[in-house]
Amino acid sequence: MEEEVGPAGPGKGTEPVIRLEGVSKVYSLPFGDVIALDAVSLAVMPGEFIAIMGPSGSGKSTLLNLIGSLDVPTAGRLFIDGRDTSVLSDDELTELRRDRIGFIFQQFNLIPLLNAFENVEYPLILKTRQSIKKSKKAQELLLRLGLTEAMLAHKPKELSGGQQQRVAIARALINDPAILLCDEPTGNLDTKTGKVIMDLLKEVNMSGKTIIMVTHDPDVAMYASRTITIVDGRVV
Ligand SMILES: Nc1ncnc2c1ncn2[C@@H]1O[C@H](COP(=O)(O)OP(=O)(O)O)[C@@H](O)[C@H]1O
Ligand SMILES: [Mg+2]
């Protein structure tokens, strides 16, 4: 199953873009250890669209956070672009995360004080270390994702859930990452809006980006080319 790949698409290669070898995550708590992930091995090929499913508390978010290097494994090894992340320095990891990975969350996680345009421009500024207000990149991306010119100046709270998630997708894409990690991207949206967002994500995948998405909704998982189910921290 591990070697199974999605439909052929642009950017598809023979080397996994992500590889986990016996990755575990154990949280040590006062009342004992919680094994959130238990020796998970997994290979993701470039251009794949993977859905991670499983009951609440099964370790889905933990797995996604490890893949995104937001957290580190307690055992096992994680390779991104063939690089062993355990030997990278904090700075190298930050760079890898910034340049190669985009995140999309259930709660959108936009910065409340920044407007839509500024939220999308922000990671670009972090990367280029200069204000690029004149750059049209953020604006073009937002318009392409279906926002109107007028919405660019709106703060997140002045936008609907679906509009906020479009802004979050634009923010995730602004530095042109190869990998998009989505944790319940439609979890806060109604069914109709969720479908619109999933169609957008499918388009992003067809443009060549690898997507790994956590969901507990079978209709949402249908958009993926492969589904991985996790129960009690193990792939089943
Ligand atoms: N920071 C943490 N500290 C302690 N336990 C945690 C932490 N994060 C997650 N867990 C535990 O790890 C398990 C998996 O959590 P999680 O990955 O969030 O599951 P899911 O996303 O599938 O609902 C759960 O038992 C959860 O309580
Ligand atoms: Mg979760």
Higher-scoring residue by pLDDT: 11, 159: 159
- 148 Cβ below 6 A of ligand 1: no
Flag whether pLDDT at 4 surpasses 50: no
Residue-wise pLDDT for 97-114, tens only, equals 988 999 999 999 999 999
- 62 Cβ below 6 A of ligand 1: yes
**pLDDT band per the 50, 70, 90 thresholds, residue 126:** confident
Query: Phi/psi of residue 182, each to 5°?
Result: -125, 120
* 7 within some domain: no
* 189 within some domain: yes
Residues, the chain: 236
The mean per-residue pLDDT over the stretch 142-169 comes to 95
Tell how far the Cα of 143 is from the centroid of ligand 2, in angstroms: 30
CATH code, domain with 96 = 3.40.50.300
CA 123 – CA 109 distance, rounded (Å): 13
* 130 within some domain: yes
Residue-wise pLDDT for 33-92, tens only, equals 999 999 999 999 999 999 999 999 999 999 999 999 989 999 999 999 999 999 999 999
* 94 within some domain: yes
Using most ligand atoms within 8 A of CB, pick from 24, 25, 26, 27 the residue to mutate for ligand 1: 27
Q: What DSSP letter does each residue of 151-206 carry, written as one string? A: GGG--GGGS-HHHHHHHHHHHHHTT--SEEEEESTTTTS-HHHHHHHHHHHHHHHH
Atom from ligand 1 closest to the CA of residue 58: 22
Q: How many domains does the chain have?
A: 1
CA 57 – CA 43 distance, rounded (Å): 23
* 14 within some domain: no
Provide the pLDDT for residue 137: 87
CA 75 – CA 175 distance, rounded (Å): 30
Query: Phi/psi of residue 57, each to 5°?
Result: 85, 10
CA 189 – CA 185 distance, rounded (Å): 8
Provide the pLDDT for residue 134: 57
- 36 Cβ below 6 A of ligand 1: yes
**Domain coverage including residue 137:** 46-72+88-235
Least reliable range by pLDDT among 5-9, 21-25, 60-64, 91-95? 5-9
Take atom 3 of ligand 1 and give the residue whose Cα is closest. Answer: 27
Strand partners, 34: 27
- 56 Cβ below 6 A of ligand 1: yes
- Counting ligands in written order, the one closest to the CA of 54 is 1
Average predicted confidence (pLDDT) for the chain: 91
Q: Would the pTM count as exceeding 0.75?
A: yes
Flag whether pLDDT at 131 surpasses 90: no
Take atom 2 of ligand 1 and give the residue whose Cα is closest. Answer: 27
* 40 within some domain: no
* H or E element at residue 67: helix 60-67
CA 162 – CA 108 distance, rounded (Å): 10
* 81 within some domain: no
- E strands along the chain, which residues? 18-29, 32-44, 49-53, 75-80, 83-84, 101-105, 179-183, 210-214, 226-231, 234-235
Take atom 24 of ligand 1 and give the residue whose Cα is closest. Answer: 57
CA 9 – CA 218 distance, rounded (Å): 23
Provide the pLDDT for residue 130: 67
The mean per-residue pLDDT over the stretch 140-146 comes to 92
**pLDDT band per the 50, 70, 90 thresholds, residue 133:** low
Inter-residue contact 50 to 40 (CB < 8 Å): no
Query: Phi/psi of residue 123, each to 5°?
Result: -65, -25
* 83 within some domain: no
Provide the pLDDT for residue 3: 44
